[in-house]
Amino acid sequence: MEKFQSKQLDHEKVFRDPVHTYIHVKDKVVFDVINAKEFQRLRRIKQLGPASYVFPGATHTRFEHNLGVYELTRRICNIFEEKYPSVHPGDGLWDPNESLLAQCAALLHDIGHGPYSHTFEHLFDTNHEKMGQEIITDKNTEINKALRQVSPSFPELVASVIAKTYPNPQVVKLISSQADADRMDYLLRDAYFTGVTYGAFDLTRILEVIRPYRDGICFTYKGIHAVEDYIISRYQMYQQVYFHRVNRSMEVILHHLLQRAQRLYQENKLQVTPQLAAFLGENWTLSDYLKLDDGVMETNFLLWSESSDQILADLANRYLYRHPLESVKINEETKNLIPKLDKLIEQAGFNPKYYTDTNSAFDEPYDAYKPTGKNAHSPIEIMQEDGTLVELSEFSPLVKSLNGTLQGDERFFFPKTMVKQNNEPQIFDPIYQEFQKYIRNNELHYLRRPSKK
């Protein structure tokens, strides 16, 4: 098997990081990847998109997160090399020769992301996974050039780890599984920057009990409480942060704003900077993609906020200056009320196409079953004293309770004015009052029939 050699830097480089204290870099290839322009560009893309509208501290970027995943992977590789070095192929232990590959894949696992990926991809037919593969394997990128220092095939190998086609499951699962370095970093980092303490699990303990086995990564028995705690933290971050109703509301606005812009562009009525024009024209290259960032998007929103198209201007202002839509929980049954509500909203002067939406946010906190689909994750395995593996939820009533469930809600979004006005009487008051009858305790519900007497 090919040996991956990397030149070492003269002096170890360190980056200050509030989550891991320091990020350590000794390999020249890692340092060169970080300095590549495609990587530096991540400094201008927020990790959590519009979440900083809800959690003002959440301005951290994909740059720091990628460094963090690298650092965690580096620490785990060091632990594996010291505690579980492979003696002969197939012994289920860690081959130190894989460490550099794992670290580069960790560093680059999210390199394909652009601004507001979720919303952007939906509308502009981009795909961060595909773009990531391209950035790594295209001979013209600085990242590709840096990786080729190691060997001509190294970029392809890094890409294969991220694509989960690399043959060694230990390397793949370190980067993507139900307990991978990616999730560990983003939970800790998002918790730190939002200030939501729920996401903070016991990383030190996790690093004490993580170990390789033949088919991937597992945890020793004495660490079950730390692993359990990690699953709970993940669940809580989803419920508290990622699925926050205002966060989703800002995404709804963003989606409608870009939709409106797309339409006006087609009608040749949109002012737009060159960086974004390529995408609205559906004719873009990798080089165009690499010039997108949060600032470019917002610069366009600023232009649009003065558009003569009132819907575009209003949505841009709502996004820039944080005027979220209001929302209520819905279910399969109460969903049927939406057309009725849309009509009221329209009577109050809003185009429901741009001012209302439904949005589902559900997550499966843990899945104990063997994967079937491409994105399915294998369960978390616990290694007992005698070396046998047991799936986590066997030991944890908490994890068992979450196993295979979908947690989250579906909501209906609409203009806040329908439910919250100043106290002065207003022309639309009867409409508002009618609307409000359908809402109680933050949920949509059917009107109770007045009982006959």
- Judged by CB under 8 A, the chain residues 299 through 338 that form the site for a second copy are 299, 302-303, 317, 320-322
What's the full length of the chain, in residues?
453
Side chain identity, residue 371: P
Q: Interaction with a second copy in 263-282: which residues (CB under 8 A)?
A: 273-275
User: Please, which residue, 375 or 385, has the CB nearer to a second copy?
Assistant: 385
Contact set for a second copy, span 56-95 (CB under 8 A): 56-57, 59-61, 63-64, 67
Closer of 195 and 349 to a second copy (Cβ)? 195
Closest separation in Å from C-beta 284 to a second copy = 15
Return all residues near 171 (Cβ < 8 A) that are at least 6 apart.
98, 101, 102, 105, 161
Secondary structure letter of residue 288 according to DSSP: H
With contact defined as beta carbons under 8 Å apart, do 253 and 325 qualify? yes
DSSP output for 107-138? HHTTTT--TTHHHHHHHH---HHHHHHHHHH-
Does residue 424 interact with a second copy by CB under 8 A?
A: no
Per CB under 8 A, the list member of 167, 441, 448, 449 interacting with a second copy is 441
Min CB(163)–a second copy separation in Å:
27
Q: How far is the CB of 273 from a second copy (least distance, A)?
A: 6
Q: Which range binds a second copy by CB under 8 A, 35-43, 162-170, 278-286, 426-434?
A: 35-43
Q: Which two structure tokens, joined as six digits, stand for 85? A: 């070095």
> Would you count residue 5 as binding a second copy (CB under 8 A)?
no
Q: Which stretch binds a second copy (CB under 8 A): 32-40, 159-167, 332-340, 366-374?
A: 32-40
| Ramachandran angles phi, psi of 127, nearest 5° | -155, 115
Binding part of the chain for a second copy, among 117-125, 170-178, 188-196, 444-452 by CB under 8 A, reads 188-196
98 binds a second copy (CB under 8 A): no
- Window 375 to 404, contacts with a second copy (CB under 8 A): 384-386, 388, 397-398, 400-402
Residue count, binding to a second copy (CB under 8 A): 78
Q: Nearest distance from residue 172's CB to a second copy, in Å?
A: 27
177 is a contact residue toward a second copy (CB under 8 A): no
Alpha helices, DSSP H, located in 290-396: 294-304, 310-320, 338-347, 352-355
Contact 379, 439 (CB under 8 A): no
Position among 200, 246, 277, 337 found at the interface with a second copy (CB under 8 A): 200
Pick the closer one to a second copy by CB: 129 or 443: 443
Minimum separation from the CB atom of position 161 to a second copy (A): 24
Supply the minimum distance, in Å, between the C-beta of residue 398 and a second copy: 6
Residue 286 is a binding residue for a second copy (CB under 8 A) = no
Beta carbon of residue 417, minimum distance to a second copy (angstroms, whole number)? 14
40 binds a second copy per the rule CB under 8 A: yes
Token code pair at residue 170: 């230990």
Q: What are the C-alpha distances in Å from 375 to residues 1, 163, 370, 371, 372?
A: 29, 10, 12, 8, 8
Q: Point out which span in 85-93, 118-126, 133-141, 227-235 binds a second copy (CB under 8 A).
A: 227-235
When asked if residue 359 is in the footprint of a second copy (CB under 8 A), the reply is no
Cα 335 → chain centroid:
27
Contact 72, 201 (CB under 8 A): no
Parallel, antiparallel or unpaired: strands 326-330 and 216-220 = unpaired
Distance separating alpha carbons of residues 70 and 78, to the nearest angstrom: 12
Residue 371 interacts with a second copy (CB under 8 A): yes or no: no
Question: In the bound complex, what is the minimum distance in angstroms from residue 62's beta carbon to a second copy?
Answer: 11
Residue from 411, 414, 410 nearest 341 by CA: 414
Least distance CB 353 / a second copy (angstroms): 25
Terminus-to-terminus CA distance in the chain, angstroms? 86
Judge contact between 87 and 95, C-beta under 8 A: no
Minimum distance from residue 203 beta carbon to a second copy (Å): 10
**Shortest reach from residue 224's CB to a second copy, in Å:** 9
Choose the stretch contacting a second copy; rule: CB under 8 A; options: 120-128, 175-183, 324-332, 437-445: 437-445
- Comparing CB distances to a second copy, the nearer of 157 and 418 is 418
Strands 381-383 and 216-220, bridge-based pairing: parallel
CA angle 370, 374, 379 (to 5 degrees): 25
251 binds a second copy, rule: CB under 8 A: no
Stretch that binds a second copy, among 43-51, 156-164, 340-348, 426-434 (CB under 8 A): 43-51
Residue 89, SS3 per DSSP: coil
DSSP letter string, 52-82: GGTSTT---BHHHHHHHHHHHHHHHHHHHHH
Name the residue type at position 348: A
Instruction: Name residue 17's beta-bridge partners.
Output: 21
